Amino acid sequence: MTNSGPPTLDDVAQAAGVSRSTASRAINGGLRVSPEAQAAVDDAVARLGYAPNRAARSLVTRRTDSIGLVVPEPDARILTDPFLAGTLRGVSDGLAGTELQLVLLLSRPGELPGQMARYLRSGHVDGVIVTSHHRDDRLEPELGRGSLPAVFVGRPFIETGLHYVDVDNVEGGRIATRRLISRGRKRIATITGPLDMTAGVDRSRGWHEELQKAGLPDDALVEGDFTAVGGAAAAERLLDAHPDLDSIFVASDLMAEGVLKVLSARGRSVPGDVAVVGFDDLGVAAAMTPRLTTVTNPVVQMVEAATGTLLDLLAGKRVPEAPQVFTPHLVEGESD
């Protein structure tokens, strides 16, 4: 081989003793290639250090060898939200041992509803994992009626025809509220997640159900946004409207961080005056003073499961229609 540049497909074919077309088929999936020829090409690729041209390969296979991770949130949230950081880790772990590349897709200010879904359906990725989705981003109906393999992390509003992995958020809301009731609390408020997200809806539903079962009032509710700043703002509104509250179920630990700061500024002790239970247990709770009592949200395991489901779909395997739902549990702290 006299070529001083990177090895070419012709170099691989010559080293393997096969035609160029046979070498191409062997590299791109082995269709109509004998085991002997496949072994010779594999050996030549390894010896020469040949790297296929992905653009040319995609013309043959109609595959991009990449999957999209769609996070319909501003990019700043990736750096500050432990749930989204855990999502990235889970996908990375799930893709270990594959040659698939990860494409991270974030929302942009002013993006039109459905724009992301149209991009995905244009052949830029082979499949997609969607997390932190909202009702109005149009991802559910657009992906549900298309052919692009997709798995949601978190229950979609439209469940029929979509694969998803989630934690039982309703049960998580029940667990947190039962804990506060067991502590003798009678005026139990909640700061929900965004109510255009199923996690926000489901966690508040668990809170409602437990209070109704116990015969306690369920009117002290304020919507939050799953951020520390949003949790603080929601706590201010909640305390102004319901100064008699003695406990709060906060639908994320990040929001609870803001809640504890507001309670401290108002001279309300935790847990003496106000007990607080959060949701997530992704590192934030352990760093708080007092250590936050919370409910688990096993995001890394959920995303690994979602990635595994997507890989099965891409491989043409039969995938059960039923969702994979993880069971939450209480993590003891000192805030209740």
Model confidence pLDDT, tens digit, residues 1-51: 445 678 888 888 999 999 888 888 787 666 678 888 888 988 988 888 887
Contacts with 189 (C-beta within 8 Å, 6 or more apart), sequence order? 220, 221, 222, 238, 242, 245, 247, 248, 249
**Chain region(s) in the chain for CATH 3.40.50.2300:** 66-167+300-325, 169-295
pLDDT at 55 exceeding the cut of 70: no
pLDDT at 29: 61
| Calpha distance 282→328 (Å, rounded) | 13
The three-class DSSP label of residue 46 is helix
Longest Cα–Cα distance in the chain:
85
50 close to 58: Cβ distance less than 8 angstroms: no
Q: For residue 205, what are its two tokens?
A: 């539903």
- Beta strands 294-295 and 330-331 are antiparallel
251 close to 204: Cβ distance less than 8 angstroms: yes
pLDDT at 329 exceeding the cut of 90: yes
pLDDT at 98 exceeding the cut of 70: yes
pLDDT at 86: 87
As a whole-number percent, the residues of the chain with pLDDT over 70 amount to 93
| Calpha distance 28→318 (Å, rounded) | 23
Q: Which of 36-50, 165-179, 307-321 has the lowest mean pLDDT?
A: 36-50
**DSSP state letter for 136:** G
> For residue 165, what are the β-bridge partners?
153, 324
| Calpha distance 269→250 (Å, rounded) | 16
CA distances from 158 to 124, 143, 196, 202, 211 (A): 24, 11, 13, 14, 28
- Just give the CATH number of 66-167+300-325: 3.40.50.2300
Mean pLDDT, rounded, for 170-183: 98
5 close to 12: Cβ distance less than 8 angstroms: no
Architecture of 9-61 per CATH?
Orthogonal Bundle (1.10)
| Calpha distance 221→63 (Å, rounded) | 48
Q: How confident is the model at residue 116 (pLDDT cuts 50, 70, 90)?
A: confident
Q: Considering the entire predicted model, what is its pTM?
A: 0.79
What average pLDDT does the chain have?
A: 89
pLDDT at 52: 64
| Calpha distance 130→154 (Å, rounded) | 8
Q: Which of 11-15, 77-81, 228-232, 283-287 has the lowest mean pLDDT?
A: 77-81
pLDDT at 159: 83
Model confidence pLDDT, tens digit, residues 258-302: 999 999 999 999 999 999 999 999 999 999 999 999 999 999 999
Q: For residue 264, what are its two tokens?
A: 């401290």
Model confidence pLDDT, tens digit, residues 188-209: 999 999 999 999 999 999 999 9
Model confidence pLDDT, tens digit, residues 102-111: 888 887 766 7
Question: What CATH superfamily is the domain 169-295?
Answer: Response regulator (3.40.50.2300)
Residue from 174, 150, 170 nearest 162 by CA: 150
pLDDT at 67 exceeding the cut of 60: yes
pLDDT at 174 exceeding the cut of 60: yes
Model confidence pLDDT, tens digit, residues 143-164: 887 788 999 999 999 888 899 9
333 close to 290: Cβ distance less than 8 angstroms: yes
- In this predicted model, which residue has the larger pLDDT, 113 or 217? 217
Alpha helices in the chain (DSSP H): 9-16, 20-27, 35-48, 54-61, 75-80, 82-94, 115-119, 139-144, 169-182, 198-214, 228-241, 253-265, 299-314
- In this predicted model, which residue has the larger pLDDT, 212 or 137? 212
**Chain region(s) in the chain for CATH 1.10.260.40:** 9-61
* Cis peptide bond prior to 290, omega within 30° of 0: yes
pLDDT at 278: 98
Model confidence pLDDT, tens digit, residues 234-265: 999 999 999 999 999 999 999 999 999 999 99
The three-class DSSP label of residue 249 is strand
134 close to 196: Cβ distance less than 8 angstroms: yes
